[in-house]
Amino acid sequence: MRHKPIKSKLFLQNRKRIAELMAPKALAVINANDVLPTNADGTLPMQPNADLFFLTGIEQEESILVLFPDAADEKHREILFVRQPNEQLQIWEGYKHTKADARKISGVKNVKWLSEFPVIFRSLMCEVESAYLNSNEYKRANVEVQTRDMRFIRQCQTDFPLHRYRRLAPLLHELRVVKTDLEIELLKEAVSITAKGFRRTLRFVKPGVVEYEVEAELAREFIKRRGKFAYTPIVAAGKNNCVLHYLQNDQECKKGQLLLMDVASSYANYNADLTRTIPVSGKFSRRQKKVYNAVLRVLRASIEGATVGKLHKDWTKEAQNHMNEELLELGLLKKSQIKKQDPDSPACRKYFMHGLGHPLGLDVHDVGDNNKPFASGTVLTVEPGIYLPDEGFGVRLEDDIVVTEEGPINLMEKIPIETDEIESIMGR
Ligand code: GLY
Ligand code: MN
Ligand code: MN
């Protein structure tokens, strides 16, 4: 674990919250993620399961949490199963949680070895009226491999065919979309690490550096501060500004170009999500500055517009209307194009073709129902852009905010964004 210990209160709170949403006499099972294979005997670094982490703080592979709030025996209300450390594991992989460690991290009193799971689970299943099982219900997820959760669901259906099964995902989404203060603290740390990385690039970028060298500077800053890339970094110079999911990061940054960096750190599994667009030579051209400031105005208005009770689709519509006006001013759209636009595909989509923002948290595109109005505690990204491949550049700016009753809080307020400030830091 690279992050500092987290108060188990965070996870206790979350288990209490989910217990309140569960039907009577039901249990819930949450599995760790699989360690995914690559080639030969290779594996990807283990990505902790966000839901298991949310409820326990446990990141270790093969762990299982069982919640049974109405269990007759108090010991069965929360049980955490972890792999039993042994000599072979110790030699090859090193540290694995002891029961005491798992108890301390999660606050779950009853910690068992994984080998005990089948017998205990069978006995609990004979007591319950229904079972909540977990699965990835993210709308745009494209899951081509069978997940551990899915194998578990199939196994349960085989072993207990007459049970009633329920979906745990909607309950978890409902809770995870609204962040508690303890979660916001972790997000703030991710943002703080991200800010330091970005400031480092302002001192580093100049004509002749290669995109991957910029990536390396960011990695150095993030990793030494207990962070890591929250997602595959986008470091895109010149016309690559306009490739929304540019990942090659292998081109030289040239004088006169802009460098778009959609790069952020995570901390303790909580993700920041930042985009800044800076001039490679330290000075924006007049045209670049005009386009940049148009994006900045839409960003600022959209931050202000992210208020409690607003629907995501209305928030987006406001930004699109604003963007239409900016594009008109820039000479990129004509009044007639706006007038006859298809409301489902507004004129600005030619230059601003992606979403305005998304929930952020334990996942970068975090879970949450987009059809529900913003609640206080919702964390969102705000990320307008204008992409002009014909002019050889594009601008995207992205901040992370918390929606509150008192208005939005910009977690990235201190990360340089004004053209003057960026030019002044780069000129030093
Ligand atoms: N970095 C991913 C996104 O902005 O959505
Ligand atoms: Mn981003
Ligand atoms: Mn984003």
Q: Which domains does the chain have, with CATH numbers?
A: 9-173 (3.40.350.10), 181-427 (3.90.230.10)
pLDDT per residue of the chain (428 residues) written in tens, 0 to 9: 899 999 999 999 999 999 999 999 999 999 999 999 999 999 999 999 999 999 999 999 999 999 999 999 999 999 999 999 999 999 999 999 999 999 999 999 999 999 999 999 999 999 999 999 999 999 999 988 899 999 999 999 999 999 999 999 999 999 999 999 999 999 999 999 999 999 999 999 999 999 999 999 999 999 999 999 999 999 999 999 999 999 999 999 999 999 999 999 999 999 999 999 999 999 999 999 999 999 999 999 999 999 999 999 999 999 999 999 999 999 999 999 999 999 999 999 999 999 999 999 999 999 999 999 999 999 999 999 999 999 999 999 999 999 999 999 999 999 999 999 999 999 98
pLDDT at position 191: 99
Both tokens assigned to 318: 């406001």
Report the separation in Å between the CA atom of 118 and the middle of ligand 1, taken as the mean of its atom positions: 40
Q: How far apart are CA 172 and CA 136, in angstroms?
A: 11
Q: Is 262 in the pocket of ligand 1 (CB under 6 A)?
A: yes
Report the separation in Å between the CA atom of 105 and the middle of ligand 1, taken as the mean of its atom positions: 30
pLDDT at position 325: 98
Report the separation in Å between the CA atom of 398 and the middle of ligand 2, taken as the mean of its atom positions: 6
pLDDT at position 83: 97
pLDDT at position 1: 86
Nearest C-alpha to atom 5 of ligand 1 is from which residue?
A: 365
Both tokens assigned to 402: 């918390």
Alpha-carbon Rg for the chain in angstroms: 24
Four-residue CA torsion sign, 360, 198, 221, 354: positive
Q: How far apart are CA 182 and CA 177, in angstroms?
A: 14
Nearest C-alpha to atom 3 of ligand 1 is from which residue?
A: 273
Atom of ligand 1 nearest to the CA of 358: 5
Both tokens assigned to 69: 């709030």
- In this structure, are residues 398 and 264 in contact, taking their beta carbons and an 8 Å threshold? no
Report the separation in Å between the CA atom of 361 and the middle of ligand 3, taken as the mean of its atom positions: 11
Atom of ligand 1 nearest to the CA of 262: 1
Q: Is 400 in the pocket of ligand 1 (CB under 6 A)?
A: no
Name the residues around ion ligand 3, CB cutoff 5 A: 273, 381
Q: Is 364 in the pocket of ligand 1 (CB under 6 A)?
A: yes
Q: What's the whole-model pTM score?
A: 0.97
- In this structure, are residues 300 and 413 in contact, taking their beta carbons and an 8 Å threshold? no
